[in-house]
C-alpha cells in the first residue's frame, strides 16, 4: 500500500496536537468530592454505632444523639473542609516528575496545615466531643492533647485522600490517552482508505477514457454513448465518495453502469451475468468493491481473447459471512507474474484488512475449467455505517 501523502500526514499531526491540547481530560473533581462525601457519611454512621457500643461496654453510656453529633462533626470537618482543599491541591499539582520538587514540600505543608486546622476546630468545639465524665482543662492543654491524639490519624487520612485523588487522575489520564489513540487510529484509517479510493478512481477513469479515445475515430456514436454512461457512473461515484461502505445493491447498480460502458467497447464479445441473493442486497460492502473485480476479470479474460468471454458475479450469504465470487469464464489460464494482483485487487485486499481485520479475505484461484476466480469474504452487516472502527489485529 502506498504511503500517505504529505498533506494527509500534516493533517493527522495537526489533529493529534489538537487532541493533546484539549482541556477536557482532567478528572471531574466535584464528582470525586461527592464520592468521598458518601464515604465519609458511611464512616460517620459506622463510627456512631461503634462509639455508642464501645462506651456502653465500658460503662460510660451516652445517648445516640451524642454519638451521632461527635462523628458528624469529626467526619464533617474532613468531608466539607479538608477533603476539597486536598483535592484542589492535587488538581493544581499533578503527579509527575516535572513538579516533583514542588510536590513534596507542598504536601508536607498541607499535611501540617490540615492537622492544625483539624485540631484547632476540635479544640474550639470541644463540648461537641466531650464525654459527660471529661474534666475541664485549659484551652492550650486541650489543644496539646488533641495534637498528640489526632496527628497520626490525620496524616494517614490526608495520605489516603491524596492517593485516591492521584489514582483517579491517573485513571482519567490513561483513559484520555486511550481515547486519543483510538481517535488518531480512526483518523489514520479513514485517511488511508481515502488514499486507497483515490488510487482506484483515476485508475478506472483513465482506463475508460482510453477506451473512449479508441472508439472516437472508428465508432463515434459508440464513443458518445460511452461518454454519457461514464458521466452517470461518475455522478454515482461522487455521491458515495466519502463513505467507507455502501449497500451491495448500490454496488450492483454501479457495476451495471460499468458493464454498459464495457459492452460498448467489446460489443458482443462481452457476456455478463449477475446472480445476487436477495438477503444480501442490503448488506454493507466496501465502496468500489465490485467494479475493480469486474475490471480485473475483463482485463485478464475478455480483453485477451479473440472470441466471446463471460464475466460472472455471484453473491450469497453463508452463515454470518457474505461470499462474493467473480469469475472470468474462458479467460487466460493464469495471471502473468509481472501483473501480480494489480492495483485493483491489491487495493481491495488492503481495504478489507483495514475494515474487517482477519475477517475480510480476498483469494484467487484457477478453476479446473480454465476460468479464473476471485473470491471475497466479509462479515454480514446491515444498516448505515456512520463511524469507521478499525479492528485491532495482528499483521496479516
Which of the four pLDDT bands, split at 50, 70 and 90, describes residue 117? very high
Nearest to 294 by CA among 262, 332, 323, 250: 262
Cell numbers of 190, please?
479513514
In this structure, the strands spanning 309-318 and 361-366 are unpaired
Q: For residue 319, what is the DSSP state?
A: T
189, containing H or E segment: helix 139-216
Asked if pLDDT for residue 205 goes beyond 50, the answer is yes
Q: Are 12 and 181 in contact (CB under 8 A)?
A: no
Q: Are 212 and 223 in contact (CB under 8 A)?
A: yes
Higher-confidence residue of 312 and 125: namely: 312
Question: Counting Cβ atoms within 10 Å, is residue 115 exposed (0-12), middle (13-18) or buried (19+)?
Answer: buried
Which of the four pLDDT bands, split at 50, 70 and 90, describes residue 201? low
Nearest to 277 by CA among 324, 245, 327, 326: 324
The model's pLDDT over 345-362, given as tens digits with 9 standing for 90+, comes to: 777 888 888 788 888 999
Residue-level pLDDT at 28: 86
Q: Are 103 and 124 in contact (CB under 8 A)?
A: no
φ/ψ of 171, rounded to 5, equals -65, -45
Q: What percent of the chain has pLDDT over 70?
A: 76
Asked if pLDDT for residue 138 goes beyond 90, the answer is no
Q: Kindly report, as residue ranges, where domains of CATH 3.30.565.10 are found in the chain.
A: 219-379
Residue-level pLDDT at 23: 43
DSSP-derived 3-state class of residue 367: coil
Higher-confidence residue of 199 and 221: namely: 221
CA triple 218-220-224, angle to 5 deg:
140
**Residues 6+ away with beta carbon under 8 Å from 354:** 189, 192, 193, 390
Residues 128-145 have a mean pLDDT of 78
- Indicate left, alpha or beta for 251 from its phi (over 0: left) and psi (-120 to 50: alpha): alpha
Asked if pLDDT for residue 380 goes beyond 90, the answer is yes
476540635: which residue's cell?
122
Between CA 199 and CA 215 the distance in angstroms is 25
Nearest to 256 by CA among 241, 268, 274: 274
DSSP string, 270-283: EEEEEEE-GGGTTB
Residue-level pLDDT at 267: 78
**Residues 6+ away with beta carbon under 8 Å from 136:** none
Between CA 136 and CA 133 the distance in angstroms is 9
237, containing H or E segment: helix 220-239
pTM check: above 0.75: no
Straight-line distance from the first to the last Cα atom of the chain, in angstroms, rounded to the nearest whole number: 13
Residue-level pLDDT at 9: 43
Mean pLDDT estimate for the chain: 78
Between CA 396 and CA 389 the distance in angstroms is 18
Residue-level pLDDT at 192: 56
Give the other-Cβ count within 10 Å of 163's Cβ: 12
Asked if pLDDT for residue 389 goes beyond 70, the answer is no
Note the CATH number of domain 219-379. Answer: 3.30.565.10
Asked if pLDDT for residue 289 goes beyond 50, the answer is yes
Nearest to 343 by CA among 291, 268, 273: 291
Residue-level pLDDT at 391: 45
Nearest to 237 by CA among 280, 213, 202, 264: 202
Residue-level pLDDT at 193: 53
Between CA 99 and CA 292 the distance in angstroms is 58
Amino acid at each position: 500500500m502506498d504511503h500517505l501523502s504529505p498533506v494527509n500526514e500534516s493533517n493527522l499531526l495537526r489533529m493529534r496536537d489538537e487532541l493533546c491540547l484539549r482541556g477536557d481530560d482532567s478528572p471531574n473533581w466535584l464528582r470525586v468530592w461527592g464520592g468521598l462525601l458518601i464515604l465519609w457519611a458511611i464512616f460517620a454512621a459506622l463510627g456512631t454505632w461503634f462509639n455508642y457500643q464501645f462506651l456502653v461496654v465500658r460503662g460510660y453510656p451516652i445517648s445516640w444523639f451524642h454519638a451521632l453529633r461527635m462523628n458528624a462533626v469529626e467526619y464533617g470537618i474532613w468531608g466539607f473542609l479538608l477533603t476539597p482543599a486536598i483535592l484542589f491541591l492535587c488538581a493544581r499539582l499533578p503527579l509527575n516528575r516535572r513538579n516533583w520538587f514542588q510536590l513534596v514540600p507542598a504536601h508536607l505543608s498541607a499535611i501540617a496545615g490540615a492537622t492544625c486546622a483539624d485540631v484547632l476546630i476540635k479544640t474550639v468545639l470541644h463540648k461537641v466531643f466531650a464525654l459527660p465524665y471529661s474534666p475541664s482543662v485549659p484551652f492550650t492543654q486541650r489543644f496539646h492533647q488533641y495534637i498528640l491524639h489526632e496527628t497520626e490519624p490525620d496524616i494517614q487520612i490526608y495520605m489516603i485522600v491524596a492517593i485516591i485523588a492521584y489514582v483517579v487522575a491517573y485513571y482519567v489520564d490513561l483513559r484520555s490517552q486511550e481515547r486519543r489513540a483510538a481517535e488518531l487510529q480512526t483518523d489514520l484509517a479513514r485517511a488511508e482508505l481515502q488514499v486507497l479510493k483515490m488510487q482506484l478512481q483515476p485508475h478506472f477513469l483513465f482506463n475508460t477514457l482510453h477506451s473512449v479515445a479508441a472508439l472516437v475515430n472508428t465508432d463515434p456514436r459508440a464513443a458518445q454513448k460511452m461518454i454519457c454512461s461514464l458521466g452517470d457512473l461518475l455522478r454515482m461515484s461522487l455521491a458515495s465518495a466519502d463513505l467507507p461502505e455502501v449497500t451491495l445493491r448500490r454496488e450492483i447498480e454501479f457495476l451495471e453502469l460499468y458493464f454498459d460502458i464495457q459492452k460498448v467497447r467489446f460489443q458482443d464479445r462481452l457476456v455478463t451475468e449477475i446472480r445476487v441473493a436477495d438477503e444480501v442486497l442490503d448488506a454493507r460492502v466496501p465502496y468500489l468493491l465490485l467494479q475493480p473485480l469486474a475490471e480485473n476479470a475483463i482485463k485478464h479474460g475478455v480483453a485477451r481473447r479473440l472470441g466471446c468471454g463471460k464475466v460472472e458475479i455471484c453473491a450469497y450469504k453463508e452463515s454470518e459471512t457474505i461470499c462474493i465470487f467473480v469469475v472470468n469464464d474462458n479467460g487466460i489460464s493464469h495471471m502473468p507474474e509481472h501483473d501480480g494482483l494489480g492495483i485493483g485487487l491489491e487495493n481491495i485486499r488492503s481495504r478489507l484488512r483495514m475494515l474487517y481485520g482477519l475477517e475480510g479475505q480476498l483469494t484467487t484461484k484457477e478453476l479446473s475449467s480454465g476460468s479464473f476466480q476471485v473470491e471475497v469474504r466479509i462479515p454480514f452487516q446491515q444498516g448505515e455505517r456512520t463511524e469507521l472502527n478499525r479492528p485491532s489485529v495482528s499483521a496479516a
